[in-house]
Structure 1
Amino acid sequence: MKHNTIGLYSIMTFNMMIWGLNAVALKILVTHFPAVTMQGVRIFLAGLVLLLYIVIKRTWKPLTKRDWGWTIGIILTGVVGHHLFLAWGLTITTASNAALILSLVPLMTAFLSFLFLREHITPARMGGILLGLIGVILVVLRGGTGLSTSMWGDLLIGGAMIFQACSFILIKKATDTIDAKQLTTIMFLAGATLIFLIGLFISPDGVSIMLEGPLWVWAVLIVSGVVATAWGHAMYNATIHQLGPGQTAVFINLTPFFALVGSALFLGEAIQWVQIAGFALIIVGVFLGTGAWGEGERMKARTVHRETGIH
């Protein structure tokens, strides 16, 4: 059991590294390709990989009207809204800032769960949410007094974060009756198609620009779509139910760390003290706001009870 747990921890750590470095990859991609068209192609590629997996496993099942209602909502928020705002934001802000702001997703999800799912929220969790918000405000303002161009990019990333959190609430309801991998496949394929059509409207020459792009940038796109998006989500879904939501939230904290390191190494982005301070506040906020602290204590108690019989 211990060996299996170490294996799961290793998988999750590697997955968070991939997701953190994916912020760097997306910054590279929006620099060389039209942002919206690129997102459509990248996400559709991820959807095709997952579709191939489902076809091989023969796990596809027809959806009910209720299922399609949830699915459409998830497509509009978790794919179209999230990835459009993410692409637009990355064109005018840094990859490191984007990763830090997106790390607020668990807190926003917890807050929305309280509002719409009537989930219990303790004073400690509310305090964690406030700490996380303060951390993001530090990252966005960076000591400034107004909204510069890059700060508008940060606000767009904030919109992407809110859209993703909304989709997680819908996903929680939808996966009561829909297989998570099938839902993700439909999300990616349908959402990517909508994003691609929007890209054709915004940048009619977007496809031709991409076709003329360097091979190494196309390699980054393929790795981002297949490894970070398709494989990353598959691994996440495969381990989440074994580790539990509390421990998973702790691992998610590693994503902005890897993004900060990758941004400095591959993009030459300078890491400022306010980003480090904001990162620290966000980590503490996620740890408290998602209930990870309480989950960890409960797991310790269960372990002691199993091994010693002490309550």
Structure 2
Amino acid sequence: MANKHTYLILTILMMIWGFNVSAIKILVEQFTPIAVTSIRVLIAGITAFVYLSLIGVVRLPKKKEWGYILGGTIFNVVCHHFFIAEGLIRTSAANAGLILGLGPLITVVLSMILLKQRPSFFRLFGFIIGLIGVSITVLAGTSGVGGNWRGDLFVLSAILSQAFSFILIKKAAQSMDTRLLTGYMTTFGAFILAALSLWKEPGGFGSLANINLPLLGILLFSAIIATGFGHIIYNYSIGKIGPSETSIFLNLNTFFSLVGAVLFLQETFLPAHLFGLLFIVSGVLLGSGGLEAWLIQRKRKRV
């Protein structure tokens, strides 16, 4: 798949993921959060393995690959989905979407630390700008510091854990098809989430007994399209073009999250959200190296 096709598919995926923030918020407000999350992730895992069986890439992992599967399961599936579910109970989809937009910057910073990449002035400055944007976003809610900040912190923890998993996925891609890695991570993660629900939410699965058709449609969209195929596509792209470049597309996720929150949840888009968005996008452009690469390319053309 040529890179331009990868970029197009990632753009479409970001729209799906952006709207999925609203879908998840609806689900965790209607059902017990971790229980419905485990069901959603399990359906995604089944979807992944059905697809992988059809294209003939299913195999047992090698001994050294189990470490990547375990790490990816914990950070990419369990921690990420647990924190998203807990966060969206306590904060708005608009706030969550903006904080998720910090993902590219966090991924770049972790790439610098774990992959021994030396940060430039632009990237360090971008990190500071991005943090300012998140701070503005966290304080944007009408309930101020005493209200939404706990939910915002959960969402920030979700993107931190996911960004770390992207580094693991990039390393795993050297020997394992990342689509197969996604299938194993998602399936194992679903059972861990189910165990967490049984421990933290006694009787939580009973909340799903009276699910109606519209909510079932939202659940299947989130599980099959956004989570199942979505993570297969995204993790495959990480192995193909790298974690930093792939994560840049999460900026679009931020935009579509805000659009979805306004369209589907009738949430209010505050002026402070706009300021937060501007700081976050500016921070990502600087921190990811996008602006720096453009300046270098422009200088070379002049020469």
User: Residues 202-221 of structure 1 correspond to what in structure 2 (within 5 A)?
Assistant: 202-221=200-219
- Which deviates more from structure 2 when the two are superposed, residues 154-163 or residues 166-175? 166-175
CA distance in 2: counterparts of 1:165 and 1:66, whole angstroms: 22
User: Residues 59-138 of structure 1 correspond to what in structure 2 (within 5 A)?
Assistant: 59-138=57-136
**Does 1:271 pair with 2:269?**
yes
**Does 1:260 pair with 2:286?**
no
Look up the equivalent residue of 2:198 and give its one-letter code.
L
> Relative to structure 1, is the Cα distance of residues 282 and 58 closer, same or farther in structure 2, using a 3 angstrom cutoff?
same
Alignment RMSD (CA, Å): 2.6
> Relative to structure 1, is the Cα distance of residues 89 and 69 closer, same or farther in structure 2, using a 3 angstrom cutoff?
same
> Relative to structure 1, is the Cα distance of residues 13 and 294 closer, same or farther in structure 2, using a 3 angstrom cutoff?
same
Look up the equivalent residue of 1:117 and give its one-letter code.
L
Look up the equivalent residue of 1:235 and give its one-letter code.
I
- Which deviates more from structure 2 when the two are superposed, residues 103-112 or residues 242-251? 242-251
Q: How far did residue 98 of structure 1 move?
A: 0.8
Q: Please report the TM-score for the alignment, with normalisation by the length of structure 1.
A: 0.88
CA distance in 2: counterparts of 1:235 and 1:292, whole angstroms: 22
Question: Deviations for 1:256-277, whole angstroms, at most 9, x for unmatched residues?
Answer: 1111111111111111111111
CA distance in 1: counterparts of 2:178 and 2:3, whole angstroms: 22
Look up the equivalent residue of 2:189 and give its one-letter code.
G
Q: Please report the TM-score for the alignment, with normalisation by the length of structure 2.
A: 0.91
Look up the equivalent residue of 1:158 and give its one-letter code.
L
> Relative to structure 1, is the Cα distance of residues 53 and 163 closer, same or farther in structure 2, using a 3 angstrom cutoff?
same
- Which deviates more from structure 2 when the two are superposed, residues 164-173 or residues 279-288? 164-173
Q: How far did residue 250 of structure 1 move?
A: 4.2
Aligned partner of 1:178 in structure 2 is 176
> Relative to structure 1, is the Cα distance of residues 152 and 67 closer, same or farther in structure 2, using a 3 angstrom cutoff?
same
CA distance in 2: counterparts of 1:214 and 1:73, whole angstroms: 36
The answer to whether the Cα contact below 8 Å between 1:75 and 1:190 also exists between their aligned partners in 2 is yes
The answer to whether the Cα contact below 8 Å between 1:245 and 1:292 also exists between their aligned partners in 2 is no
The answer to whether the Cα contact below 8 Å between 2:88 and 2:155 also exists between their aligned partners in 1 is yes
Secondary structure at the residue paired with 1:29? helix
CA distance in 1: counterparts of 2:114 and 2:194, whole angstroms: 31
Question: Deviations for 1:21-42, whole angstroms, at most 9, x for unmatched residues?
Answer: 0000011001101100111010
| Unaligned stretches of 5+ residues in structure 1 | 305-309
Percent identity reads: 37
> Relative to structure 1, is the Cα distance of residues 300 and 14 closer, same or farther in structure 2, using a 3 angstrom cutoff?
farther
The answer to whether the Cα contact below 8 Å between 1:40 and 1:195 also exists between their aligned partners in 2 is yes
Aligned partner of 1:196 in structure 2 is 194
- Which deviates more from structure 2 when the two are superposed, residues 115-124 or residues 141-150? 141-150
CA distance in 1: counterparts of 2:114 and 2:241, whole angstroms: 25
The answer to whether the Cα contact below 8 Å between 1:20 and 1:99 also exists between their aligned partners in 2 is yes
Q: How far did residue 82 of structure 1 move?
A: 1.1
CA distance in 2: counterparts of 1:135 and 1:295, whole angstroms: 23
The answer to whether the Cα contact below 8 Å between 2:170 and 2:242 also exists between their aligned partners in 1 is no
The answer to whether the Cα contact below 8 Å between 1:32 and 1:213 also exists between their aligned partners in 2 is no
CA distance in 2: counterparts of 1:169 and 1:158, whole angstroms: 17
User: Residues 213-232 of structure 1 correspond to what in structure 2 (within 5 A)?
Assistant: 213-232=211-230
Aligned partner of 2:46 in structure 1 is 48
The answer to whether the Cα contact below 8 Å between 2:22 and 2:264 also exists between their aligned partners in 1 is yes
Aligned length: 303
The answer to whether the Cα contact below 8 Å between 1:100 and 1:139 also exists between their aligned partners in 2 is yes
Question: Deviations for 1:110-146, whole angstroms, at most 9, x for unmatched residues?
Answer: 1122222211211101111111111001001228896
Question: Deviations for 1:154-181, whole angstroms, at most 9, x for unmatched residues?
Answer: 1111111111111112222222211100
> Relative to structure 1, is the Cα distance of residues 169 and 241 closer, same or farther in structure 2, using a 3 angstrom cutoff?
closer
CA distance in 1: counterparts of 2:298 and 2:228, whole angstroms: 33
CA distance in 1: counterparts of 2:245 and 2:298, whole angstroms: 12
Secondary structure at the residue paired with 2:90? coil
